[in-house]
Structure 1
Amino acid sequence: MGAAVDYNVLWSNVTDADELPGVYCAVKWIQVVTSMLSIVGSGSIIGYAVFQNAVRSPEVRPLFYLSVSNLLLAFCWLLGAVLYRPHAPKPNLPCFNLQALGQMFYLSTFLYTINYVWQTFNNFKRRIGHDLIQISDKEYWMGKITTVLCSVVPVLFICPVLYYGNTKKCFGNNSYSCLVLNIGSHITLDRNSSDSCAALHTYSTTVFMVSFCLSTIGILVILGYSCQLFRMNQKDSRSLQEHWAVITVTRHSFLLFPAIFFFCCLPGVTLTLVSLKRINVGYQALCYIQAFTAVSQGFLNSLAYGWTQQMIHCLKQNNFRDVDTQTPLLRSQKNLYASMQTSNSYIEPRIISAF
């Protein structure tokens, strides 16, 4: 029995709210700022896709769903920061359920990030293959099924946590349980936790770590295939001339968006491992880093998307800038020459995007 008690003592040396009140208060306000920035960033992508009627575009749709997931995650943790009180009543039932919802949306961002990278890879492959408009029925239904699974799988994983956590009364016994510090290990146990609650904590932590590891492997594999595909086709002058701007930006986005994903998720994974190993060194620094990065993916994605769209616009402007400096005679000669090249003519799609 003594061994069971020792197993259930989690974060007892480093996470007592009475020991680090200043850290948790600072984390609260960082959480408020980053959540609001993420709401603005995700909302801007969603608004752009809706008002530009680009939600159905295969290039914008995966980023739209990822932004919706980031928006819900940001709302969840903004509410958690509002509910946080240094001396909140214990046990804290609202924060426990809010943590479970935050965990669910966090897992959904993992899956939607993989979906985004995979769909971007398919769009990139179609551009190189000169097939920008036609999408096969198989690809269409695979995209639909993947989108549904990205929403359903996190719900299936977190439903047992909500059900058994409320049934067994596995409520967090610390006042900081509404903060993002609980991402990855969101059931806060204490010395009086039952074996059922300890098993539920192990389950939720395992789901988080396995999901992150599988997401990392999937993203790295897709990145490897995309780099190999570009090397194989970079000598194809026709592809590079027709889609040079979009292909160039797509290469950057293949690295930029996964980098944002790892930047936002690695601190949460590190803090989870530290909590499991009960390591005190660097705990406060990890708390601050986790507060800055945990909910920032939506905001950083919006910056990356705006930068890539601006980069496409600038590259295309540079391609046609010489036309503005020509005389009317040279311009007409160039237009006549272009009209004679019927075999090499190309009509761009209505929606130009790097994704």
Structure 2
Amino acid sequence: MAFLLETSILEDSWDLFFSAIQWIQFVMATLSVVGSSSLIAYAIFQNIQKSPERRPLFYLSFSDLLLGIYWLTEALLYGTSTANKDIVCYNLQVVGQVLYISSFFYTINYIWYLYKELRMKPSQSAQRTFSLAIDYTCRIGQIAIILSSLIPLLLMVPVFCLGNVSECFRNFSQSHRCILMYSPPPAMAELLPSANTSVCRALYFYGLIIFLASFVLSFFTIVVLLIQAQTLYKKFLKSTGFLGSEQWAVIHIMELRVRFYPVAFFCCWSPAVILMIIKLTKLQDAKLHMALYVLQALTTSSQGLLNCGVYGWTQYKFYQLKQEARRDADTQTPLLCSQKRFYCRGLDPLESTLAFATSTSTIL
């Protein structure tokens, strides 16, 4: 009797906790939808055909929008009593897995494109070579965009088909299962009877392994691109170069985006990955699970918002750098501009290089 009472109290506390998680997820998903929709509208308004960079940004934002709608749907569905809710929740989780992995690949594609543009910026003077490089990058980008949607779909087909045939949705009868990447802690996970429990268990671990493998692959790819971009940018700063001030501003903004988009990616998905690893190790710590669920609801649901914030901030920084460079070119002599990089110790390396590039172009 005491055991049943303790179990009932525990379940009630989890009910209250996940009701709070539902509202956190709802708010963050709404903001994510607004942020990703803003980036999509900006890309369309700026005519994505004229700027190769905006195409991968458009697809990444569209992926964020779909994820935001998915999280919003789960938050609205949680706690409702709809017909065949267990089937709907199970298939929603499968769709979510496809969207998660697609989002990883679209993030890699965008960061790769930023890195390629960063590499090609100094060679823009060789117009023919630059045009050929752009065409090649666009073709590779189109193939990557197709694969970013196709591969996650193919990976999750077994979970969708075998899971529905084996009636694995019976294991989703607990109302808590229909929420953001939710699976109860091991102590509470009591599988309900299904047509083939072993198949369902295998599919559950298959989904976890696919998610973790996709994240690890994305993590290492992004880290490699980030290291390459940092090395390339340091070479630009050390070279004397005869680039215009606006070209240096573009190069700096590209480098900032290559740096900050991975930061946003890791902030969004790290709590979810840690939670998945804990589930695999079967660590039973209710407080740790609660903390990670709160972090997951705050970060994973906000990917569209964070990506929008990074792009908006770097755009603002870009216009600010251009204005500073033009103001220096208009108000200072070439000698003062060239001396600025040596005597203005408060400036960062980019601003010093901008001043030097401006003076060089003025002298020429």
Query: What TM-score comes out, normalization by structure 1 length?
Result: 0.81
1:118 to 112, 121, 133: 112
**1:290-337 Cα distance to aligned partner (Å, 9 max, x none):** 1111121110111111110010001100111246658xxxxxxxxxxx
* Mapped partners of 1:236, 1:214: distance in 2: 33
* Mapped partners of 1:319, 1:251: distance in 2: 18
In the TM superposition, residue 174 of structure 1 has moved relative to its aligned partner by 1.6
2:139 to 134, 138, 141: 141
Say how many residue pairs are matched: 315
**Which structure shows the higher helix fraction?**
2
Q: 1:151 to 1:17 in 2, by over 3 A?
A: farther
* Mapped partners of 2:72, 2:240: distance in 1: 50
In the TM superposition, residue 279 of structure 1 has moved relative to its aligned partner by 2.1
Residue in structure 2 matched with residue 267 of structure 1 by the alignment: 271
Q: What secondary structure does 1:57 align onto?
A: coil
Residue in structure 2 matched with residue 195 of structure 1 by the alignment: 198
Residue in structure 2 matched with residue 353 of structure 1 by the alignment: none
**1:168-190 Cα distance to aligned partner (Å, 9 max, x none):** 1101132112211338x9xx871
CA RMSD of aligned residues (A): 2.7
1:114 touches 1:218 (CA, 8 Å); kept in 2? Answer: yes
Q: What secondary structure does 2:181 align onto?
A: helix
Match status 1:226 vs 2:220:
no
Q: What secondary structure does 1:85 align onto?
A: coil
**1:262-307 Cα distance to aligned partner (Å, 9 max, x none):** 0000111011112222223311111110111112111011111111
* Mapped partners of 2:12, 2:157: distance in 1: 32
* Mapped partners of 1:73, 1:60: distance in 2: 20
1:248 to 247, 252, 256: 252
Q: 1:240 to 1:192 in 2, by over 3 A?
A: farther
1:51 to 38, 45, 50: 45
* Mapped partners of 2:190, 2:88: distance in 1: 16
Gaps of 5+ in 1: 1-12, 327-337, 345-355
Q: 1:248 to 1:240 in 2, by over 3 A?
A: farther
Amino acid at match of 2:160: L
Residue in structure 2 matched with residue 40 of structure 1 by the alignment: 34
Q: 1:40 to 1:126 in 2, by over 3 A?
A: same
2:321 to 315, 324, 327: 315
Amino acid at match of 2:32: S
2:61 to 67, 83, 89: 67
* Mapped partners of 2:314, 2:65: distance in 1: 21
* Mapped partners of 1:47, 1:208: distance in 2: 30
* Mapped partners of 2:274, 2:362: distance in 1: 58
1:205 to 203, 208, 211: 208
In the TM superposition, residue 139 of structure 1 has moved relative to its aligned partner by 2.3
1:90 touches 1:174 (CA, 8 Å); kept in 2? Answer: no
* Mapped partners of 1:17, 1:239: distance in 2: 68
- Summarize the alignment of residues 1-355 of structure 1 with structure 2, pairs less than 5 Å apart: 18-85=12-79, 92-130=86-124, 134-136=131-133, 137-171=135-169, 172-182=172-182, 190=191, 192=193, 194-238=197-241, 241-242=244-245, 243-281=247-285, 282-322=288-328
* Mapped partners of 2:11, 2:298: distance in 1: 20
Amino acid at match of 1:283: H
Amino acid at match of 2:224: V
* Mapped partners of 2:294, 2:49: distance in 1: 36
* Mapped partners of 1:129, 1:251: distance in 2: 16
* Mapped partners of 1:42, 1:108: distance in 2: 15
In the TM superposition, residue 234 of structure 1 has moved relative to its aligned partner by 2.0
Over 6 Å off, 4+ runs:
86-91
Amino acid at match of 2:290: Q
Q: What secondary structure does 1:182 align onto?
A: coil
In the TM superposition, residue 77 of structure 1 has moved relative to its aligned partner by 1.3
1:128 touches 1:239 (CA, 8 Å); kept in 2? Answer: no
RCO comparison, higher one (Cα < 8 Å, 6+): 1
Q: What secondary structure does 2:168 align onto?
A: coil
1:121 touches 1:226 (CA, 8 Å); kept in 2? Answer: yes
* Mapped partners of 1:90, 1:199: distance in 2: 23
* Mapped partners of 1:26, 1:19: distance in 2: 11
Query: What TM-score comes out, normalization by structure 2 length?
Result: 0.80
Q: What secondary structure does 1:237 align onto?
A: coil
1:173 touches 1:190 (CA, 8 Å); kept in 2? Answer: no
* Mapped partners of 1:324, 1:225: distance in 2: 35
In the TM superposition, residue 56 of structure 1 has moved relative to its aligned partner by 5.0
* Mapped partners of 2:363, 2:147: distance in 1: 43
* Mapped partners of 2:84, 2:145: distance in 1: 39
Gaps of 5+ in 2: 1-6, 333-357
* Mapped partners of 1:55, 1:102: distance in 2: 30
In the TM superposition, residue 227 of structure 1 has moved relative to its aligned partner by 1.4
Amino acid at match of 2:265: F
Q: 1:301 to 1:247 in 2, by over 3 A?
A: same
